[in-house]
Structures are given as structure tokens and as C-alpha cells.
């Protein structure tokens, strides 16, 4: 509304049609609610920016019912919006449960995340990947997209065969059932076992006079793994049967971890079924001179004109590389889900270059949807103790991390002593909600591109920008609503707002835009940090403004409704982050 009136004002004053006016939130040290940035208008309007701002401000005050005043600071026009506008807006929100989300779907998109190897359990790096991918999928859905959540499971290759060889040699037919271990843990143990035996054999060969490089290539256990891979690719029945059996153990283990983490998928792709995809498209690209063949028979693409390098897409022996497979998988997904017009790949930033190349190749191949491909690139997760290494078994296991977070949440909750009247089952449920909420929020509040130093103890602090702090505020509001016996939303008639009430309504009003912005930037951090600002504002309101001791009934109803609105937005925001909120705490 303000946008159109401001454009009318510029047309009236300067006889100019302006396409876009830049608005931003007024800085807290100036009076006002929303600011028009005048500087971009100087491209079209000649004159002093202060005078231009004064002219537009006077027009808005005269012609708009919601602008009650303004002030100009250099080239910034700070507008004061009427309390009546905010009261009217708040009254118009009919359903807080769906508030902020676009119900009508416009376009479809696929989000890929997790994509684990079946030779080891999920670790802390997978946790960030899963939390990011799942949250981005939820945010895109709330922004109005139909979303398909998917993963590609890396279930083939030499690394898988290493676990298989180690189990065959040392496993004595043990199973998840016989050991009591989750299947992914059991298989992961044999991946570590392989590496230990491999190192022993290298040392033994070096002692016999081999160079280190020769020893690494000639170690018998590695040769067995390579032979097993050849047998698998040839379809040897015994090898394939073992591969299927061990992978099934892992899938069951993954499912348990995903359930505990609160993430899910609509469809799975398997590398064992996709690794041959793409070769036919390389052949088509050769015919169209997109690719070229070298003297040794390998096929390449030259991307030097685009600032990249030459990239191989097919080896000399005709076998595919990862790029070939990714080309084919992307095309296959569009075939499988013809309504999608874009893909989001949640993959660590060490693959930034790979995705630049992949997206450029698909564009050169003439696929229109290639312009809607996005790499959700994220930084690694570090621990105070240092870097994780899968082969050495020093990774932070995802299941153990979740268990420790829940345990720590329990210890802190017991110290605070606020669990009277809870059954043991209720306590455990609450510890889980707090522990996982702390983990998820700590990871998601950071911009995806940034590296994280994850400190479990710091994440469960009940003060500051943490999940438990926000969950505690939500639970406090539920306590207020129970006292109010509040279960309906009626329109309220009130002439003016307390500054703290106005601040809350302004924040609530921005929630739909925050969702759209988070979707556009593929950034759950925008949702997380918005929620923290909302909670800080509510706590300031709670300390400054009496709710049940309000001067009149209308004020009391408004403040109860505001409390309900804030708690609903907290719940909706946290749902987008995959975090639960407790009714009591």
C-alpha cells in the first residue's frame, strides 16, 4: 500500500514513473517504523536528497491514512505508521497456525540432502547436512513451492567393498542381531578394521624392502577389495548377495538415525542404479560438439572460456566418472518428476567447483531447468578437540551426539529444578525435545556458508541465542494462556498501543517476508535469528507491560492475543527448523 502511494507521490511531484522504491526497517536510534531510502531515486530525480525526502514525506502524510509523521536523516525518509494500522493488521490475522505460509503452490523443486555412504554410520557432518536440507525443504514449502525431498545413497564402490572384505575375513558371521549393534555401526566398525589391517600390511611390506607407494598398492587386503569390486560389477552372485545383506543392515540403522533426528525423504536414489546414467547424454553431446574426444579415447569438455578448466566426462576405457553420473541423475530426476523446475543440492563447500561445472555442462546441453539448479554449499563442522576422520574411527557419531545432547539437557534441567509433577517418561520426552532443539538451533542459526565450531555445552545454555532459551519462552507463554483460559481470537478495539506491543506486532508482520527471504537465500539462519529477535522482544514486553493487571479488559485481551500470536509464530518458525516446542518446561 505504501509503495503504490509513494509512487503516486513521485508521479505527482516529479512527473516520473518509478518501478521500485527501496524500503527498510527504521534504525532503532531514529523515530519511525519504516524507511524509504532516497539515494537510489537520485538516478531519476535531480536535486537535494533531503528535500526530495521532505517532499515525498509531506505527500504521504497528506494522502495516506497510515502515515502519521516523518523525519528525514540525510537521504533516509523515516515514516511513523499509525497504531491503528498495526491493530487492524493484527486483527486481520485469522489463523496463526498457517500464518506466514503460502498455501497455494506455485512450481515444484527437489531438495537433495544426506547422501551417505553405506560403509559407516552418520556423523556430525551428516547432522549439519540433514538439518540444513530438511529445513530448507520445509521453508521452500512454506514459501509456496511443492517440494520433493530426496537423497542419493552411495552404496557402491571400493569403500563399500573394504567393509565387505573386512567382515568376510574377521566377522565370523556376526550380525546386528547377534551383537546388539545398529547395522550401520557394525558395518562402520569393519571399515575401521579394514584400515587398521591395511596399515599393518603396508608396514610389513615396507620392512620387506618395498617403497611406501609400492606397499600401498600391493597390500593383499586392498587387492582383495579391488577384486571384490570387479566381482560386484560383473554381477557375481555371492558378492552381490553379501553386498545386499550388509547394505540392508545399514539402511535399517540409517532409518533409526533419521527418525531420531526428525528428518525424512520422499524418494531415494541409489548410486548402484545411477552410476551408468549419463553415458548416453555424453554420446549426444559428442554429436553436438559440446564434448570432444582425446587421442586416448577419453571424452572431455572445455570450459576455459567460462573461467573454469577442461573436465573429463568419460574415461578412455568408456567408464563413467562422478560428473557423468551426476549429469545423468539430474536428467533422470526431471524425467521422474516432470513438474519440478529446479534442484537444490545440499553438499559441503569442498564440492563448490564440482557443482559449478555440473550446472554449466547441463546449461550447455540445452536444458532450460539448468538455470534453476542451486548448490546449498555449507561449511564444515569442527569440534574443540579437532578434525574428524572416518577411517580412524574418530568421527562424532550422530546417534551418540543426540544421546549426549539429551543426557546433558536432562542434567541441566534437573539442576534448575523445574520438573515437579513430571513422570519419568515425560521427563525423558522433555530432555529429548530440549537436547535436540539445542543441537538443531545451534547449527541452523549460523549462515550455511560459515564454518561451525560446535560446542555441545554452549548450545544447551538456557540464556542467550539458543534453542532452549526460545523453547523456555514458548513454554512460559503456554503457562500464561492456560491461566487466561484463552482459546478464541476475537477482534479488539483499542485506540493506541504501548511501544512494546507495537514492536511485537511489527515483528509478527515481517514473518511472511522472512520466510520468503529465507527461501530465496536457502538460509534457515534467517528464520532462527528472526525467532530469537521475536523472543527477545516478547521477554522485554513481558517484563514491561502487565498482562492480567492491564488497565482495562481490551488491553488484557490484546496482550493475551499478542502472547498467543508470538507463541504461534515461534512454533511455526521452529517447525521450519525441524524443532519441537514443549508445552511445559
> Are 234 and 377 part of one and the same domain?
yes
Written in H, E and C, the secondary structure of 151-205 is EEEECCCHHHHHHHHHHHHHCCCCCHHHHCCCHHHHHHHHHHHHHHHHHHHHHHH
pLDDT at 179: 97
> Are 213 and 360 part of one and the same domain?
yes
On whether residue 411 sits in a domain, the answer given is no
**26 in helix, strand or coil?**
coil
Strands (E), 26-164: 34-37, 67-73, 76-81, 108-112, 146-153
Is the model's pLDDT at 576 over the cut of 60? yes
Q: Taking a C-beta distance cutoff of 8 angstroms, is the pair 462, 412 a contact?
A: yes
Nearest of 276, 176, 191 to residue 225 by alpha carbon: 191
> Are 176 and 272 part of one and the same domain?
yes
pLDDT at 265: 98
Across the range 323-333, mean pLDDT stands at 95
Q: Taking a C-beta distance cutoff of 8 angstroms, is the pair 348, 377 a contact?
A: yes
> Are 73 and 145 part of one and the same domain?
no
Across the range 440-448, mean pLDDT stands at 96
Is the model's pLDDT at 389 over the cut of 50? no
Instruction: Give the pairing of strands 381-382 and 452-453.
Output: parallel
On whether residue 366 sits in a domain, the answer given is yes
DSSP secondary structure letter of residue 432: H
Grid cell 503516486 — which residue?
A: 8
Mean pLDDT taken over the chain: 93
- Where is the domain boundary, 81, 96, 116? 81
Domain CATH for 228? 3.40.50.620
- Where is the domain boundary, 328, 349, 382? 382
Across the range 5-22, mean pLDDT stands at 93
Q: How many domains does the chain have?
A: 2
Is the model's pLDDT at 312 over the cut of 60? yes
> Are 176 and 220 part of one and the same domain?
yes
Q: Taking a C-beta distance cutoff of 8 angstroms, is the pair 250, 183 a contact?
A: yes
Q: How far apart are CA 188 and CA 168, in angstroms?
A: 14
Domain CATH for 50? 3.30.1360.70
Q: Identify the band that residue 461 occupies on the pLDDT scale cut at 50, 70 and 90.
A: confident
> Are 221 and 334 part of one and the same domain?
yes
Is the model's pLDDT at 569 over the cut of 70? yes
On whether residue 173 sits in a domain, the answer given is yes
Is the model's pLDDT at 102 over the cut of 90? yes
Across the range 88-116, mean pLDDT stands at 92
CB neighbourhood size of 516 (10 A): 17
Which residue would you say has higher pLDDT here, 269 or 421?
Answer: 269
For residue 266, give the C-alpha cell.
520422499
Q: Taking a C-beta distance cutoff of 8 angstroms, is the pair 159, 98 a contact?
A: no
pTM for this model (two decimals): 0.92
> Are 251 and 121 part of one and the same domain?
yes
Across the range 433-447, mean pLDDT stands at 96
On whether residue 460 sits in a domain, the answer given is no
**154 in helix, strand or coil?**
strand
Q: How far apart are CA 176 and CA 132, in angstroms?
A: 30
Q: How far apart are CA 396 and CA 393, in angstroms?
A: 9
Percent of the chain with pLDDT over 70: 97
Across the range 181-209, mean pLDDT stands at 96
Query: In terms of residue numbers, what domain contains 238?
Result: 108-291+318-382
pLDDT at 492: 75
Query: pLDDT tens across 106-154, in order?
Result: 999 999 999 999 999 999 999 999 999 999 999 999 999 999 999 999 9
pLDDT at 486: 61
**155 in helix, strand or coil?**
coil
> Are 134 and 45 part of one and the same domain?
no
Across the range 349-357, mean pLDDT stands at 96
Q: How far apart are CA 582 and CA 258, in angstroms?
A: 21
Across the range 542-563, mean pLDDT stands at 92
pLDDT at 533: 97
CB neighbourhood size of 374 (10 A): 16
Nearest of 335, 336, 333, 337 to residue 345 by alpha carbon: 333
Across the range 352-361, mean pLDDT stands at 97
Across the range 220-239, mean pLDDT stands at 96
pLDDT at 309: 95
Instruction: Give the pairing of strands 299-302 and 310-314.
Output: antiparallel
Grid cell 525431498 — which residue?
A: 149
Q: Identify the band that residue 255 occupies on the pLDDT scale cut at 50, 70 and 90.
A: very high
Q: Identify the band that residue 390 occupies on the pLDDT scale cut at 50, 70 and 90.
A: very low
Report angle CA 240, 397, 355 to the nearest 5 degrees: 70
Percent of the chain with pLDDT over 90: 84
Instruction: Give the pairing of strands 373-378 and 292-293.
Output: unpaired
- Residue 168: exposed, middle, or buried by beta-carbon count in 10 A (0-12, 13-18, 19+)? middle
Nearest of 295, 293, 296 to residue 283 by alpha carbon: 293
pLDDT at 393: 45
On whether residue 308 sits in a domain, the answer given is no
Across the range 483-501, mean pLDDT stands at 80
**103 in helix, strand or coil?**
coil
Q: Identify the band that residue 394 occupies on the pLDDT scale cut at 50, 70 and 90.
A: low
Amino acid at each position: 500500500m505504501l509503495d503504490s502511494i509513494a509512487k503516486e507521490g513521485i508521479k505527482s511531484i516529479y512527473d516520473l514513473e518509478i518501478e521500485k522504491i527501496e524500503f527498510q526497517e527504521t534504525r532503532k536510534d531514529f523515530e519511525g517504523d519504516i524507511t524509504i531510502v532516497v539515494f537510489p531515486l537520485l538516478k531519476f530525480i535531480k536535486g537535494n536528497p533531503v528535500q526530495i525526502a521532505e517532499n515525498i514525506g509531506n505527500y504521504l502524510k497528506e494522502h495516506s491514512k497510515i502515515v502519521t509523521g516523518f523525519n528525514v536523516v540525510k537521504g533516509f525518509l523515516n515514516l511513523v505508521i499509525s497504531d491503528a494500522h498495526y491493530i487492524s493488521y493484527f486483527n486481520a490475522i485469522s489463523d496463526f497456525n498457517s500464518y506466514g505460509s503460502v498455501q497455494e503452490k506455485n512450481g515444484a523443486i527437489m531438495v537433495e540432502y544426506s547422501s551417505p555412504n553405506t560403509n559407516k554410520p552418520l556423523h556430525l557432518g551428516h547432522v549439519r547436512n540433514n538439518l540444513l536440507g530438511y529445513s530448507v525443504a520445509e521453508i521452500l514449502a512454506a514459501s509456496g513451492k511443492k517440494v520433493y525431498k530426496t537423497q542419493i545413497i552411495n552404496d557402491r564402490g571400493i569403500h563399500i567393498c573394504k567393509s565387505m572384505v573386512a567382515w568376510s575375513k574377521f566377522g565370523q558371521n556376526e550380525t546386528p542381531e547377534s551383537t546388539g549393534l545398529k547395522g550401520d555401526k557394525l558395518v562402520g566398525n569393519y571399515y575401521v578394521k579394514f584400515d587398521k589391517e591395511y596399515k599393518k600390511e603396508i608396514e610389513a611390506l615396507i620392512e620387506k624392502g618395498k617403497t611406501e607407494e609400492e606397499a600401498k598398492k600391493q597390500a593383499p587386503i586392498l587387492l582383495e577389495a579391488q577384486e571384490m569390486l570387479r566381482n560386484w560389477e560383473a554381477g557375481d552372485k555371492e558378492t552381490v548377495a553379501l553386498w545386499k545383506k550388509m547394505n540392508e543392515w545399514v539402511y535399517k540403522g540409517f532409518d533409526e538415525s533419521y527418525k531420531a533426528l526428525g528428518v525424512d525423504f520422499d524418494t531415494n536414489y541409489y548410486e548402484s542404479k545411477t552410476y551408468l546414467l549419463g553415458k548416453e547424454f555424453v554420446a549426444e553431446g559428442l554429436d553436438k560438439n559440446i564434448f570432444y574426444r582425446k587421442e586416448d579415447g577419453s571424452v572431455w569438455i572445455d570450459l576455459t572460456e567460462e573461467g573454469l578448466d577442461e573436465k573429463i566426462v568419460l574415461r578412455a576405457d568408456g567408464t563413467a566418472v562422478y560428473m557423468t553420473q551426476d549429469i545423468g541423475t539430474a536428467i533422470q530426476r526431471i524425467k521422474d518428476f516432470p513438474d519440478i523446475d529446479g534442484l537444490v543440492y545440499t553438499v559441503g563447500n569442498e564440492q563448490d567447483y564440482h557443482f559449478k561445472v555440473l550446472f554449466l555442462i547441463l546449461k550447455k546441453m540445452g536444458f532450460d531447468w539448468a538455470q534453476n539448479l542451486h548448490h546449498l554449499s555449507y561449511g564444515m563442522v569442527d569440534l574443540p578437540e579437532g578434525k574428524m576422520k572416518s577411517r580412524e574411527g574418530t568421527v562424532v557419531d550422530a546417534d551418540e551426539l543426540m544421546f549426549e545432547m539429551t543426557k546433558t539437557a536432562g542434567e541441566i534441567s534437573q539442576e534448575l529444578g523445574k520438573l515437579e509433577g513430571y513422570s519419568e517418561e515425560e521427563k525423558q520426552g522433555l530432555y529429548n525435545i530440549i537436547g535436540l532443539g539445542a543441537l538443531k538451533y545451534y547449527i541452523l542459526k549460523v549462515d550455511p556458508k560459515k564454518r561451525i565450531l560446535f560446542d555441545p555445552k554452549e548450545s544447551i545454555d538456557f540464556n542467550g541465542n539458543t534453542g532452549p532459551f526460545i523453547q523456555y519462552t514458548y513454554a512460559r507463554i503456554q503457562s500464561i494462556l492456560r491461566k487466561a483460559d484463552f482459546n478464541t481470537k476475537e477482534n479488539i478495539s483499542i485506540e493506541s498501543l504501548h511501544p512494546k506491543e507495537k514492536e511485537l506486532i511489527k515483528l509478527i508482520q515481517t514473518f511472511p517476508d522472512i520466510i520468503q527471504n529465507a527461501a530465496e537465500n536457502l538460509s534457515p539462519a534467517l528464520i532462527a535469528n528472526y525467532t530469537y529477535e521475536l523472543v527477545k522482544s516478547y521477554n522485554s514486553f513481558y517484563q514491561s507491560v502487565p498482562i492480567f493487571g492491564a488497565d482495562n479488559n481490551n488491553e488484557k485481551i490484546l496482550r493475551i492475543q499478542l502472547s498467543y500470536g508470538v507463541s504461534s509464530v515461534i512454533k511455526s518458525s521452529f517447525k521450519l527448523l525441524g524443532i519441537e516446542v514443549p508445552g511445559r518446561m
